[in-house]
Amino acid sequence: MELLDKFILFAGCVAEVYMVFDFYNNFFNIRKIVKSQLVIIIISILIITLLFVVNLFGKAYLNLSLFPIILWIYVTILFDTDIGTRLIYLVISISIIVGCEFIFVILLKIPSYFVKQTSFMELTDITWQVLKMKLLTYILFTILKQVSSKSKNKLSGKIFLMYLCVPIASLCILLITYYSGVDFSDNIMIKVMMLICFCFMLIGNVLMFYAFNIYEKEVYNGIQQKSIIMKKDVELKYYIQITEVNEENKRFIHNSSNYLKVIGELAKAYKIENILEIVKELNIELENNEMKIYSGTPVLNAILSAKGLWAKKQSISFDVYVEPVIHLGNVTDSDLITILGNLLDNAIRAAASCENNKSVKVRIFMQNEGNFCVIKITNRFTGKLCKTEGGFLTTKEERGIHGIGLKSVESIVKKYNGYLNCFIEDKEFQAIVFLSL
């Protein structure tokens, strides 16, 4: 076999392993033990070498039987998924790769006895065909990733169609160049140059999708960071409010002891009218204290009273009951702020859009002998809510930012072995969080 043949063969192996890796990576998580990029590269190189060696024997049946086994070992080492699913995805991958090869076997009119004898022809003679074959395989893998609902990295329909123009155009150029009858067989230099250029074209196609995926991830991270900054701002405001309220409480306690002393003195002198005046004053001060005491947890009180004020401004009835014995275990203040802040923001916004019966109901209580803390927020809403597999779709305009609210609640709640569940009952939206303590 010539050196160029071997190179084409090797490039084919690289392309196949990359496509299978990319396909699996799109659906499954990489095992924790091989999370490092270097380990993945080393394993991939080993697999490519193994495939290349098997191909070098030039036996079609050996190739056909060992190819799936090698790929099976590869995906088993790298990807964390159950055997059944892994097998189904492998069958799909092999069907695409082998399917494309068979299409070209038919197109090139290779006789069946030839296939039995050897797995390849003189590859330098069919360089374009090999490139076309790989490009077609790549296009098929890309389309499959795009149409599958389980895919992790999906482009939006329009962008995908725009991007799909490039690989299709590349395939057409390859086909037309071949069928136009241009013959480079006499000029090895041009032949090699063409091969390199077409290889670059193929790599360019792959890189284009890869680059767009990276760009999308960057954009998503950017949005997430923006939302984290927003949340931190809110947390800071809460903390400032808590400090203010603590100061207010200290002042009130201090004043109360003074008032009591005065009341005692007045009682001694039987000055009942003056006592009544002082009691009245005390009542007014209590009523003016906007910070309501819902529970023994200061942060909880701060969030609930702040959100209560916001609801009141929008004429929403804000009904809160916190069981007296509530305890939140190891839940940190900032996590509590994120959970309640997000859920109450959503509930108040949804209730505000109602024309009448604007209401938000909050219940926080313990269940199962104090092993679980339950936060139940019920609100009325208008319009339609779409239930998806991942939860409810937001009805707010800025989907990018707002979708993160419930997701961040979910991820925090999971830290405490809890869950966020959303239900719709009698035109009411119910968000139920339970935390395992």
Partner 1 sequence: MFHIAICDDEKRFIQYMKNIIYNAGLKRGEVIFYEFSSGEEFIDYLKETASFDLLILDMQLKNMDGNETAKEFRKVFPTTTLVFCSGVCMPTVRNFETIPFRYLLKGYTDERMRFEMKTIINEMINKKVEPFIIGNNHYNLVKLRPSDILYIAIAKRGSCIHICPNIIEYKFEENITSKEKIESLYNLLKDYGFAYAHNSYIVNLKYIKKVTTTELQLVDDTKLTISRSKAKNFREEFAKVLAKKY
Q: Which of 363, 385, 401, 407 is in the footprint of partner 1 by CB under 8 A? A: 363
Sign of CA dihedral 390, 396, 400, 402: negative
Q: Which is nearer to partner 1, 184 or 252 (CB)?
A: 252
Residues numbered 400-429 forming contacts with partner 1, rule: CB under 8 A: 417, 419, 421, 423
Tokens 């990576």 appear where?
Answer: 25
How far apart CA 234 and CA 222 sit, in angstroms, is 19
Residue 73 CB, nearest distance to partner 1 (Å)? 25
Question: Candidates 184-192, 251-259, 370-378, 392-400 — which segment interacts with partner 1 by CB under 8 A?
Answer: 370-378
Choosing from 237, 313, 327, 399, the residue that interacts with partner 1 (CB under 8 A) is 327
- Helix or strand run (H / E) with residue 391: strand 391-392
Report the amino acid identity of residue 348.
I
If one asks whether residue 390 binds partner 1 (CB under 8 A), the answer comes out as: no
Q: Considering the rule CB under 8 A, would residue 430 count as an interface residue with partner 1?
A: yes
Question: Shortest CA distance to 97 belongs to which of 154, 32, 20?
Answer: 20
DSSP string over 147-188: H-TT-SS---HHHHHHHHHHHHHHHHHHHHHHHTT---TT-H
Q: Which stretch binds partner 1 (CB under 8 A): 6-14, 123-131, 365-373, 396-404?
A: 365-373
The SS3 assignment for 119 reads coil
Say how far apart CA 412 and CA 425 lie, in whole Å: 25
Query: How many residues of this chain bind partner 1 (CB under 8 A)?
Result: 25
Q: Are 434 and 416 in contact (CB under 8 A)?
A: no
Q: How far is the CB of 130 from partner 1 (least distance, A)?
A: 42
325 scored as a contact of partner 1 (CB under 8 A): yes
Minimum Å gap between C-beta 83 and partner 1 is 14
Q: How far is CA 270 from CA 257, 261, 262, 283, in A?
A: 20, 14, 12, 21
The distance of closest approach from Cβ of residue 325 to partner 1 in the complex, given in angstroms and rounded to an integer, is 4
Q: Does 359 bind partner 1 (CB under 8 A)?
A: no
Kindly tell me which of 93 and 378 has the beta carbon lying closer to partner 1. Answer: 378
Report, in Å, the least distance between residue 147 CB and partner 1.
24
- The DSSP secondary-structure symbol of 291 reads -
Shortest separation between residue 294's beta carbon and partner 1, angstroms: 13
Which tokens is 4 given? 């160029």
Residue 65 engages partner 1 in binding (rule: CB under 8 A): no
If you count them, how many residues does the chain have? 437
Minimum Å gap between C-beta 366 and partner 1 is 6
> In this structure, what token pair is assigned to residue 88?
């189904």
d(CA 318, CA 294): 13
CB of 279 vs partner 1, minimal distance in Å: 17
Element (H or E) spanning 422, and its range? strand 419-425
Residues 245-304 that bind partner 1 (CB under 8 A): 296
Complex with partner 1: residue 22 or 410, whichever CB lies closer? 410
Can residue 354 be called a binding residue for partner 1 (CB under 8 A)? no
Q: Which is closer to partner 1, CB of 355 or CB of 389?
A: 389
Q: Is 316 helix (H, G, I), strand (E, B) or coil?
A: coil
Among residues 61, 114, 220, 321, the one that binds partner 1 under rule CB under 8 A: 321
Residue selected from 49, 156, 283, 436 as contacting partner 1 according to rule CB under 8 A? 436
Q: Which amino acid is at 390?
A: G
Site for partner 1 (CB under 8 A): which residue of 323, 359, 395, 428?
323
Give the one residue of 310, 372, 400, 428 binding partner 1; rule: CB under 8 A.
372
Contact predicate 357/380, CB 8 Å: yes
Phi, psi dihedral angles at 30 (to 5 degrees): -75, 140
CB nearer partner 1, residue 65 or residue 436: 436
If one asks whether residue 434 binds partner 1 (CB under 8 A), the answer comes out as yes
Cβ distance to partner 1 smaller for residue 222 or 370:
370
Closest among 77, 72, 71 to 33, alpha carbons compared: 77
Are the beta carbons of 299 and 238 closer than 8 angstroms? yes
Site residues (vs partner 1, CB under 8 A)? 296, 321, 323-325, 327, 363, 365-372, 374, 376, 417, 419, 421, 423, 430, 432, 434, 436
